[in-house]
Amino acid sequence: MVGFTQAIHRGLTADHGGSVDFVPRVVAHMDLDAFFAAVEVRDDPALAGRPLVIGGDPAGRGVVSTASYEARRFGIRSAMPAAEARRRCPEAIFLRPDMPRYRERSRQVWSLVRAEVPVLEQVGIDEGYIDLYRAVWTSGGARRFLARLQQTVRKETGLDASFGCGTCKTVAKIASDADKPQGVVVVPAGGEAAFLAPRPLRALPGIGPVTGERLARAGLATIGDLAVLDDDALADLLPAAHGVELRARACDWTTTPSGPCSPPRTAWSCVTAHADGTRARWTRRRAPRCR
Ligand SMILES: [Mg+2]
């Protein structure tokens, strides 16, 4: 019997022997690293290694769009007032965003991804989900496939990307942020709750500043803290529907809704590869619903 984890990591071929009667969805999230700043550095290598802030006017009410990793060492973050960024690092270089140029670079990256993965869902100029169901079967597993894609993007565009991979979009997104920059983090099927539990609550999509603050005041720090809340404690903290959905994301990935970047939910999910390698029996079973 080949387990879920091995199926994801190695892909599956008949000569593995044994059988798999269920293969989970495999979705990856790609996030370009410090994208606006990275484009500026690529186009002007003299900026490399300098603290770089892309955003509004630091003399006015501008906010930071993107900070290079060198600028982040000074505590500069996206959405921070640019004036605050300048206080933290007066020697930082401040540039206004050049969206047409960023969009052009983004198109180059996504056309490279699209050449490798037919099913994808771009959700921002520098991020999106890619369906790896086919890739794990044909390219020796998700990790190898993503590492190769990461190299291709770097070689062709000079830009770095981080990837997270798992059985659902929530896990994939959090995983892509777990080892930035240039990360490739694959969360095996069945390992979702263990991966999520120690992460800070704010990493969970749907927890904004207000909700995050309310949960922090109640002593909750990690996704795992939210996952183990009982119904009464949850109802005390958050409006019912919102709380239930967030807790589901934190602990029960199978109940969250399916997103567009999904293979058909009913037709593809099962294959039985027989030990003798002579025939494979394809069956139909409902895949987990997962976001
Ligand atoms: Mg990004």
* Total number of residues shown for the chain: 291
- Cα-to-centroid distance, 16 and ligand 1 (Å): 37
Whether 127 is catalytic: yes
Beta strands 127-131 and 52-55 are unpaired
Ligand 1 centroid, distance to 66 Cα (angstroms): 9
Lay out the sheet containing 27-32: strands in order across: 120-124, 127-131, 27-32, 161-166, 184-186
pTM exceeds 0.85: no
What's the gap in Å between 44 CA and the centre of ligand 1? 19
Which residue stretches of the chain have pLDDT < 50? 1-22, 252, 254-291
CA 62 to chain centre: 28
Distance CA 44, CA 38 (A): 10
Cα 251 to ligand 1 centroid, rounded to whole Å: 26
Residues with a beta carbon under 5 angstroms from ion ligand 1: 31-32, 35, 126
CA distance 288 to 104: 36
Beta-bridged to residue 52, according to DSSP, are 93
Q: How far apart, in whole angstroms, are the C-alpha atoms of residue 72 and residue 77?
A: 6
Q: Please tell me which residue in 84, 127, 192, 245 is annotated as part of the active site.
A: 127
Distance 164 CA to ligand 1 centre (A): 12
> Tokens 């720090």 appear where?
221
Query: Which domains are assigned to the chain?
Result: 4-33+101-190+267-283 (3.30.70.270), 35-99 (3.40.1170.60), 195-255 (1.10.150.20)
Query: What is the maximum span of the chain, computed from C-alpha positions, in angstroms?
Result: 71
Q: Are 162 and 177 in contact (CB under 8 A)?
A: yes
Contact predicate 106/237, CB 8 Å:
no
Measured CA to CA in angstroms, residue 92 lies from 71, 78, 144, 180, 202 at distances of 7, 15, 37, 21, 28
